[in-house]
Amino acid sequence: MSDDLWLVVGLGNPGAQYAGNRHNVGQMVLDVLAGRCGASFSAHRSRAVVAQARLGVLPGGVPGPRVILAKPTTYMNTSGGPVASLAQYFQVDPSHVLVVHDELDIPFGDVRCKIGGGEGGHNGLRDITKALGTKDYVRVRTGVGRPPGRMDTADFVLKDFTPTERKELPFLLDDAADAVELILTEGLVKAQLKFHTKA
């Protein structure tokens, strides 16, 4: 598996004003992954910043698979173009595309992993599905919870995490980064067993 190239994408919106938003948690996870392997991002012609690295460790201490870490520089709703362009450029099959994104239907602090399925109203995922021509790519769903009261979901995801959430945020980012590494080194089922059955 170590010779298989993966494209790992963190979703978000460009610009400093969005950097701390719930919608940008996917890009925050990518920053954690890049930090773990000492990789730095640079601009790519596919409207993204990318870093090439190896992630995780395989049995026997062998370095994990080669990855392209990517953060689209387009707005969330038009993430599909950069993802499809990068997949084509690096010759990565959609089954080896992994997208890290915010998920309203999962409580804050929880992480879930799946391949395929619906987009749950997530416009970034919807655009990626359309651009790739398939739903069968891997998702690491990073829980941000539901908005309080009658707050509009679009307003909720475009707000920063609360001070209380920010204290817990590093643990969520680490868990999501761990999930990515586990999927790449030991497979989706192992990651699901770990993160879907947490006490």
Handedness of CA 141, 147, 152, 158 (dihedral sign): negative
Q: If DSSP states are collapsed to H, E and C, what string results for the chain?
A: CCCCCEEEEECCCCCHHHCCEHHHHHHHHHHHHHHHHCCCCEEECCCEEEEEEECCEEHHHEECCEEEEEEECCCHHHCHHHHHHHHHHCCCCHHHEEEEEEECCCCCCCEEEEECCCCCCCHHHHHHHHHHCCCCCEEEEEECCCCCCCCCHHHHHCCECCHHHHHHHHHHHHHHHHHHHHHHHHCHHHHHHHHCCCC
d(CA 73, CA 126): 17
The residue annotated as part of the active site, out of 23, 96, 101, 122, is 23
- Could you confirm whether 23 is annotated as catalytic? yes
The neighbouring-strand residues paired with 53 are 67
The residues assigned a catalytic role are: 23
